[in-house]
Amino acid sequence: MSLAMFLQHGLNGLTLGSLYALIAIGYTMVYGILRLINFAHSEIFMLGAYFVLWGTTLFFLPWYVAMVVAVVVTAGVGILVDRVAYRPLRDAPRISALISAIGVSFFLQNLTIVAFGAIPREVYRPLWLETPMLMGEVRVLPLTIFVPTLSFLLMLGLVWVVYRTKAGLGMRAISKDIETSYIMGVSVNRIISLTFGIGSALAAASGIMWALRYPQLQPVMGSIPGFKAFIAAVFGGIGSIPGAVVGGVILGFTEIMAVAFFPDLAGYRDAFAFVLLIAILLIKPTGLMGAKLEDKV
């Protein structure tokens, strides 16, 4: 393999990995606080992308405004889902909330089919995003720089929120012990709503970037990226934000490099992700970064 090809694969892997990472953060944040695997997260991701389409075609917003609006609206949907489907089950056994999450996932998917139709929709992309730059033999799309950069900035912002703000302190407190947090005067429901809001906003951001990278929208588009991101979150150590980021990037790289080095096995690409997961769970059952309890948020 030539160096140029390796670099090309590397860039592809980084882009895919940082998208996985952004989605994985949402899973990990909710799990860290509620010990709930939010299966509706992949649908939130999909809705984010669809809201942009809605904004541009129905309300004639410019694409950049539509994106911001979509992120905000999706955050609202995330909060609403928590309010309607999870909060009433806060004291119920954990399995009830899990079933509720699966129900919400189906509901949102079918709602999208009713609202937008099942036929895949095209995505508008500003031209400068899809015109590649040539660096030697490596073709770099502005998008391949834009996506990891934005992902990285969003993650930095999140770390700041969790470790440097009062709300973040609340999140960390709740993740340790929800009942004691109540007693200590943390407004638990507000903090949980905020967590869902942030997680959903990040999912919307990654959904939009995913749609820019793979320009097609369909109501089931969330399931596979959501699935992979979930693996990434578990791989990195579910509950840990840095773990989700590292897990996502490693997963993206592995998938691309597996195909690059073993082109004959490209059809088993998805299996690589699972082999990787099983291997890490056998060696380190809490995931890459899940061991330290104080990281749980």
Partner 1 sequence: MKRLLVLGVVMVLALAGTAAAADTVRVGVYLPLTGQMAYGGQLELEGIQMAYKEMPEILGQKVELFVVDNKSDKVESANAVKRLIDKEKVVAIIGTYGSSLAMAGGEVAEKSAIPMVGTSCTNPLVTQGKKYIFRVCFIDPFQGAGAATYAFKELGFKKAALLVDVANDYSVGLASFFQKSFAKQGGEVVANLKYQSGDQDFTAQLTEIISKKPDVMFIPSYFAEGAIIMKQAQELGAQFRIMGGDAMDNPKIVEIGGAAVEGFVHTTFPYDPSMKDMSPMAQKFTDNWNKTYPGKEPNVNAALGYDTYMLVLDAIKRAGKADPAAITTALAATKGFEGVTGATTINATHDAEKPVGLVLIKGGKKTYVGSITPEL
Which x/- pattern, by CB under 8 A, does the window 187-226 give for partner 1?
A: -----------------------x--xxxx-xxxx-xxx-
> Contacting partner 1 (CB under 8 A), which of 58, 93, 267, 282?
267
Cβ of 143: how many Cβ atoms within 10 Å? 18
Q: Between 5 and 291, whose beta carbon lies closer to partner 1?
A: 5
Distance CA 23, CA 126 (A): 23
Residue with smaller CB distance to partner 1, 82 or 255: 255
Longest dimension (CA), the chain: 61
Is the CB of residue 202 less than 8 Å from the CB of residue 151?
A: no
Q: Please give the single-letter amino acid code of residue 198.
A: I
Instruction: Annotate each residue in 134-173 with x if it binds partner 1 (CB under 8 A) or - if it does not, as one string.
Output: -----x-x--------------------------------
Q: Distance between CA 95 and CA 99 in Å, rounded?
A: 6
The one among 122, 156, 157, 292 contacting partner 1 by CB under 8 A: 122
Instruction: Give the number of residues in contact with partner 1, rule: CB under 8 A.
Output: 41
3-class SS of residue 286: coil
Give the Å distances, CA to CA, from 254 to 28, 117, 149, 257, 276. Answer: 21, 34, 20, 5, 9
Q: According to CB under 8 A, which residues from 9 to 48 bind partner 1?
A: 9, 12-13, 16
Binding site for partner 1 (CB under 8 A): 2, 5, 8-9, 12-13, 16, 113, 118-120, 122, 130, 132, 139, 141, 210, 213-216, 218-221, 223-225, 255-260, 263-267, 269-270
